Structures are given as C-alpha cells and as structure tokens.
C-alpha cells in the first residue's frame, strides 16, 4: 500500500490526476443519487403600471425674443414625465386662445398663431423634466398691436406621446 501511495503521490502531476479522479467519483456518486424535480403547469404573474399624463410647466423664462410682426419664432415647452419609463413626444397641438403678459390691448389683437407640430420625435426619459424648442412654431401677423412688443405669449397646447 505504501508503494502504491508513493507512486500516486510521487510527482505533482500524479497527485493532481489522483485528486481529480477522486473528485469525479465523489461528484458522480452525488449526481447518481439526486433526483430531478420540477412542477406541474401553473401560473406566474406580472402587472402593468398605470401610465400618468405628462405635465406641462412654465417655460416662459426659457423663451427668447425672436417673434415680430410678419415673422415666426420658437415655442418653448417644459415637460415633465412622471412615469418610470421613457416616452417620445410625437405631436403638439394648439388647444385654446393665445394670451400675453401685456394685458387686454395686446390680448385682443395678438396676431400670434401656433402651427400644430406632427411627426416629432422628442425623447423624454422617465422621471425627468426637459425644455424642448419647437423652431418656427409661432407666427405673428402684421396686425399685431404695438403694445405686444416684448410680450411673452402663453400658447395652450396638448401633447401626444408614446412609450
């Protein structure tokens, strides 16, 4: 027995082979003695979130004075996505009377119009607020009164978005 052990352990290579073979015998015995288990057909469950509408915020501080009679200018939108998932804004539609911060004289004759925006692809990550610029979306006619100079115009809009 001593000679056999001496042959097996005689070199590091022999020792490594002997240990590997012993491990395979032990593992084989453990595998041979195990049973495969599973389950009968059953149900698993998942639940969809309830999507929340996007929120429009005051973006007046982001506006630039690029609107003048006979010209067009940018419209700024500050949008919050309260959802945990990202959305893409695909459309912006005018939804009411455009007013200004200049009062009744300007409001009666702002001459400002909004061009509905379609085919947009404005990405908005979940849980974030972003200010978007819609270039050339507002126009001011030549009939706008002088009291509208320097005015910031509030343009009611609705958004269309997809997840």
Q: Are 151 and 102 in contact (CB under 8 A)?
A: yes
Domain 55-162 of CATH type 2.60.40: yes
Q: Are 106 and 100 in contact (CB under 8 A)?
A: yes
Supply the DSSP string of 117-163, one letter for each residue.
EEEEEEEE-TTEEEEEEEEEEEEE-TT--GGGTT--EE--EEEEEE-
pTM: 0.73
- What's the confidence (pLDDT) of residue 7? 57
Q: Are 159 and 92 in contact (CB under 8 A)?
A: yes
Neighbours of 103 (CB within 10 A): 12
The whole-angstrom separation of Cα 123 and Cα 81 is 10
Q: Are 163 and 90 in contact (CB under 8 A)?
A: no
> Domain residue spans in the chain?
2-32, 55-162
- Over the stretch 5-60, which tens digit does the pLDDT of each residue have? 565 556 666 666 667 766 666 555 555 578 888 889 999 999 888 999 999 999 99
The residue behind tokens 């639940």 is 47
Mean pLDDT of 104-126: 92
């Amino acid at each position: 027995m001593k000679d056999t052990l001496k042959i097996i352990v005689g070199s590091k290579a022999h020792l490594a082979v002997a240990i590997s073979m012993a491990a395979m015998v032990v593992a084989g015995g453990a595998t041979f003695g195990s049973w495969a288990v599973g389950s009968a057909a059953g149900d698993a469950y998942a639940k969809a979130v309830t999507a929340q509408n996007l929120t429009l915020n005051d973006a007046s501080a982001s506006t630039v004075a690029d609107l003048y009679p006979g010209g067009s200018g940018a419209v700024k939108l500050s949008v919050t996505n309260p959802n945990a998932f990202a959305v893409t804004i695909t459309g912006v539609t005018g939804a009411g009377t455009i007013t200004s911060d200049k009062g009744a004289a300007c409001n009666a004759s702002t001459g400002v119009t909004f061009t509905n925006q379609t085919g947009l692809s404005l990405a908005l990550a979940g849980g974030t607020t972003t200010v978007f610029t819609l270039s050339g979306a507002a126009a001011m006619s030549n009939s706008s009164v002088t009291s509208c100079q320097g005015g910031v115009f509030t343009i009611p809009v609705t958004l269309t978005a997809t997840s």
